[in-house]
């Protein structure tokens, strides 16, 4: 059954770096903003934990961080009289997927481990092996 949300002034499709910045600006201007995301939840850990996030074969050569086009894609044409061709492989247009991690698909980016986190880890290993 359809869920009816309260009306919004602005709907932002995709709450990544671009959408999120737009959203906060609009919200601060007093508008009621609704942001839409799709896909499974993802988080820095475990989804993009070092070192797998810097695996260039999986993430860059095979586009592991981007939308799997076998499931759904777009068709592209230059004008309405052209025949639209399916976008079959990831090219210059790089749609992401999932909720969280929009900035991560720039392969080679990974979150820095803070000194406290390293100290905590060393401490835990020291105490409990």
Residues of the shown chain interacting with other proteins in the complex, contacts defined by CB under 8 A: 5, 8, 15, 23-24, 27, 32-35, 37, 41-43, 46, 49-52, 54-57, 61-63, 68-70, 73, 76, 83, 85-89, 91, 99-100, 110, 112-113, 125
φ and ψ at residue 60, rounded to 5 degrees: -100, -55
Q: Exposure of 105 by Cβ count < 10 A (0-12 exposed, 13-18 middle, 19+ buried)?
A: buried
- Residue 65: count other Cβ atoms within 10 Å of its Cβ: 23
Among 76, 70, 65, 60, which residue's Cα sits nearest to residue 100?
Answer: 65
Among 72, 105, 98, which residue's Cα sits nearest to residue 86?
Answer: 72
């Amino acid at each position: 059954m359809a869920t009816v949300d309260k009306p919004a002034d602005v709907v932002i499709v995709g709450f990544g770096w671009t959408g999120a910045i737009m959203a906060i600006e609009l919200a601060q201007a007093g508008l009621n903003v609704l942001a839409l995301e799709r896909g499974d939840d993802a988080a820095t850990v475990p989804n993009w934990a070092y070192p797998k996030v810097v695996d260039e074969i999986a993430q860059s050569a095979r586009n592991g961080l981007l939308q799997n086009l076998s499931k759904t894609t777009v068709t592209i044409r230059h004008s309405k009289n052209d025949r639209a061709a399916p976008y079959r492989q990831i090219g210059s247009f790089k749609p992401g997927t999932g909720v969280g991690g929009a900035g991560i698909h720039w392969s080679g980016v990974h979150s820095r481990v803070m000194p406290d986190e390293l100290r905590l880890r060393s401490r835990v290993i020291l105490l409990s092996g």
